[in-house]
Amino acid sequence: MSGVERHVVDAERASLRLDKLLAGLPSVGSREKARQALRTGKVSVDGGAVGEHDAGKVLGLGAVVEIAWNRPGTGARRVEGQRRLEQAGVQVVSIDEHVLVADKPPGLLTDAADTEQRKRRDTLRKRVRQYLQVPEVWPAHRIDRDTSGLVLFARTEAVKEHLLTQWHARSPHREYRVVVEGRWDRRDGRQADWMRWDSGQRLQRPCGENDAGAWLAEADVEVLERFGDRATLLGVKLVTGRRNQIRLQAMLAGHALVGEPLYRRRPATVPFPRQALHAFRLGFVHPGTQEPVMHEAPLPADLRRLLESLRT
C-alpha cells in the first residue's frame, strides 16, 4: 500500500463510526485493520490527526478522511514503542506529530528539576522519549509525583511555545477527581485562596493578599458523591494552576485529601498510600488543527478500590 487516500463522506456513509467507515474501504477491508491504521497514526479527519480512541467518532456529511499509508513514524516501530511504554505503566491516550497525551501512573515524576537530575531520575518525560524513540518532548504542564492522570507533551519546540501561550492565558480545561476526608458541605462553586510558594520547604503556604509572592488560587468545586461523614468525592476544575493548589485549598476548606502527607491539620481518618488526586479531563486547542480537543483518563485501579471500600 502506498500514497495518501482521500475520501469525502457522502450521504450513504454519513453518521457511520470512523472505524466502520474505514473497514468498508477496499484498501482497509476489516475492522481490525481499520483500528491498526488508527493506532499507528495514519488517519486524519478534516486535516486533524485521529487515533484509536477516535474509532467511535461519528462522521458528518462532507467530512474528509485521509489515510497516509507511508507517513513517517507510523509503522511497526512506533506500535512496539507504544507497547513498551504501556508495559511500563504509562498509557498513551493520544499521539500525533504535534502532541502526545499520556495517562501518568502515581509514583512517577512528570519531569526532573534540571538537566543533571534528568540523567539520573526516572520520569514520565524520560520514558516517553525512550519508549517512543523520539528525540525530545516537552511537558506543557506537570502533575505531582503521586497524582495520577493526564499530562500533555509537545513534540516540537514550535508546538511547545503554542501550548505555553495557552497555559499562560489559562485557557486549557483541567479537571480533577479528588477524594477528601469528611463530609464536604460547602455549596458548589468557586473557591479562592491566597497562597505563596515556600521554595525552602518546597510547599505552598496560605498567605495574605499583600504578602510577598502572593498568588490568588482559584478552582471550581462540585460534589460528585458523599460517603456519609467519612469522605467526599469532588470534581475540581482549575481556574489557575499553582503547584499543590488543590491539596492546599482542600486543607483550607477543612478537608485534607485522603492520603495527603503534607497539607493537613489533623491525623488521617481514611488510610490510603498516596493523595487521592487524579487528573481526569484535559482540554486544549490542538496546535495542528486549531480546534478544541478534550481527553479523559479513567480512574486508576487504586482509586476505584478506594471508592468501592467507601461505598460499603
pLDDT tens for the chain, 312 residues: list them.
Answer: 557 899 999 998 998 999 999 999 999 999 889 988 887 778 889 887 787 878 888 999 999 999 988 765 555 666 677 777 888 789 989 888 899 999 999 999 999 876 656 566 789 999 888 877 777 899 999 999 999 999 999 999 999 999 999 999 999 999 999 999 999 999 999 999 999 999 999 999 999 999 999 999 999 999 999 999 999 999 999 999 999 999 999 999 999 999 999 999 999 999 999 999 999 999 999 998 899 999 999 999 999 999 999 999
Q: What pLDDT does residue 114 have? A: 61
Task: Please report which helix (H) or strand (E) contains residue 292, including its range.
Answer: strand 292-296
Q: What is the CATH number of domain 76-170?
A: 3.30.2350.10
Q: What is the CATH number of domain 175-279?
A: 3.30.2350.10
191 φ, ψ (degrees, to nearest 5): -115, 130
Residue 218: CB atoms within 10 A of its CB come to 18
Q: Identical fold at 76-170 and 175-279?
A: yes
d(CA 128, CA 78): 12
Q: What pLDDT does residue 68 have? A: 87
Phi-psi region of 94 (alpha: psi -120 to 50; beta: other; left: phi over 0): beta
* 4-68 CATH fold: 3.10.290
Q: What pLDDT does residue 187 have? A: 92
Return all residues near 131 (Cβ < 8 A) that are at least 6 apart: 81, 82, 84, 85, 88, 90
48 φ, ψ (degrees, to nearest 5): -105, 135
d(CA 34, CA 30): 6
197 with 213: CB under 8 angstroms? yes
Instruction: Using alpha carbons only, give the angle 280, 284, 290 rounded to the nearest 5 degrees.
Output: 150
For the chain, give every domain's residue range: 4-68, 76-170, 175-279
